[in-house]
């Protein structure tokens, strides 16, 4: 068995992943944490020989800028981006063409990273709000969130 579980990345990115927080909860945290959201959870997957693997995944979202061009979402494993979506004024696609705008990072088994391979995507065209950004990126990345919003659990001093 490999010492790392990066061989599971294609399965992780291709399947739906569930995190137990609502979209409204994510937006509250983005507002409360200066535009940053971090959530970790354990994901259980079965490999080709039906052996179960459990690994910790982390979702990082940054919407610190008031401009959508500064917004990014990344799914990480072992601290390494395995999937993500963001905007760049200039990037090179896998065919060597210069592009600009929204793109999705795809994982390379060779480099064990999704930092270098960028594919243009149209799913975020017209995004102007954090809500739209969350809805579209989570859908694109197959990340399901809770439909139940439990509200803000902060205790207030009287």
Kindly report, residue by residue over 20-58, the tens digit of the pLDDT.
999 999 999 999 999 999 999 999 888 778 888 888 999
**HEC assignment per residue over 82-116:** EEEEEEEEEEECCCCCEEEEEEEEEEECCCCEEEE
Q: What share of the chain is helix, strand, coil (3-state, %, to 5)?
A: 20, 45, 35
Q: What is d(CA 11, CA 15) in angstroms, rounded to the nearest whole number?
A: 6
Q: Residue 38: which of 82, 87, 72, 4 has the closest Cα?
A: 72
17 membership: H or E segment, kind and range: strand 17-22
CB 64 within 8 A of CB 34: yes
Q: What is d(CA 25, CA 21) in angstroms, rounded to the nearest whole number?
A: 6
Would the pTM count as exceeding 0.75?
A: yes
Residue pLDDT, tens place only, 128-150: 999 999 999 999 999 999 988 87
Residue pLDDT, tens place only, 88-120: 999 999 999 999 999 999 999 888 889 889 999
Note the maximum CA span of the chain: 60
């Amino acid at each position: 068995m490999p010492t790392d579980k990066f061989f599971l990345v294609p399965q992780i990115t291709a399947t739906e992943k569930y995190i137990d927080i609502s979209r409204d909860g994510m937006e509250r945290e983005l507002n409360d944490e200066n535009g940053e959201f971090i959530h970790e959870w354990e994901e259980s997957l079965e490999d080709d020989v039906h052996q179960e693997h459990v690994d910790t995944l982390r979702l990082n979202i940054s919407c610190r800028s008031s401009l959508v061009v500064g917004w990014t979402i990344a799914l990480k494993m072992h601290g390494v981006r395995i999937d993500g979506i963001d905007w760049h004024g200039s990037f090179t696609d896998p065919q060597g063409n210069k592009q600009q705008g929204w793109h999705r990072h795809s994982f390379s088994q060779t480099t064990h990273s999704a930092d270098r391979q960028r594919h243009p995507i149209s799913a975020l065209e017209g995004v102007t709000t954090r809500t739209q950004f969350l809805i579209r990126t989570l859908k694109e990345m197959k990340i399901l969130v809770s439909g139940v919003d439990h509200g803000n659990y902060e205790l207030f001093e009287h």
